[in-house]
Amino acid sequence: MWIGGRAMDGENSSQIAISLFRDTTTNQWFVERVEFNLGATRTRTSFTVPQPLGQAFTAEFLEQLQPLLPTSHDRGLLADSQAHVAIAHLSLAGIRVAAQAAFDGIQKVWVRFQRAFGSVQAMLLPRHRTEQAAENALHYVAATALLDLLLPCLDMLRLDLPASAAPDLAAERVSARLGTLQAKKHDLEFYVGLLTRYIARSPAPETGATLPEPDRGASALQGFRLPGPIAVR
């Protein structure tokens, strides 16, 4: 038995609302945004460019959503409190589908699931989920930190002065490259802090798992171009 948005056993439920439209010429559906009402908080995934359903939702969810969408271009309303959609990691119950009459080749439809349990973003393809965006951002941070550290070091190793060069010239060149690293000190400290917290919260790799030995031969670098020297004045 349900009272409001709370089950009798005390488990909280969430709600999900999906904004769609149909191109009546091609009969193709597109999604504009998905709202997740989690009770105390609400989040929204809005697509900069409306996405075809197959490029926004998992095939498992789409298979159960499409039969619930209107077949006509007329105004209509479907409300079924007993409807149930179950996919991996997510269970949805109670649905309300409100459709506008098609106008100028477009029919707008709103789909609302009254109760949702589990990982609410499981209906979205992985690339649209919040956790995937955070993971990609961390990968970018790691790559940026590595480049900020390695490029000045690589440029220092490229320092090739003739034997007749004055010692002061070599010291000046090395000092300039160390200055490049010093200028990035605060950025590197910030990156290290982010990555340290990420590693601390990540599960440890499975014991016994082995990674293939990297190819250290010259062929491993075939097709790659190292960045050019950093200009130092």
Mean pLDDT lowest among 73-82, 111-120, 144-153, 194-203: 194-203
Q: What does the pLDDT average to over 73-90?
A: 90
CA distances from 9 to 3, 86, 89, 113, 191 (A): 11, 20, 20, 20, 44
pLDDT in tens, 53-77: 999 999 999 999 999 999 999 999 9
φ and ψ at residue 90, rounded to 5 degrees: -150, 135
pLDDT value, residue 72: 93
pLDDT value, residue 57: 94
Cβ atoms within 10 Å of 90's Cβ, excluding its own: 21
Decide if 100 contacts 75 (C-beta within 8 A).
Answer: yes
Q: What does the pLDDT average to over 121-141?
A: 68
Cβ atoms within 10 Å of 16's Cβ, excluding its own: 22
Name the more confident of 148 and 28: 28
Decide if 80 contacts 94 (C-beta within 8 A).
Answer: yes
Q: Reply yes or no on whether the pLDDT at 121 is more than 70.
A: yes
Cβ atoms within 10 Å of 133's Cβ, excluding its own: 12
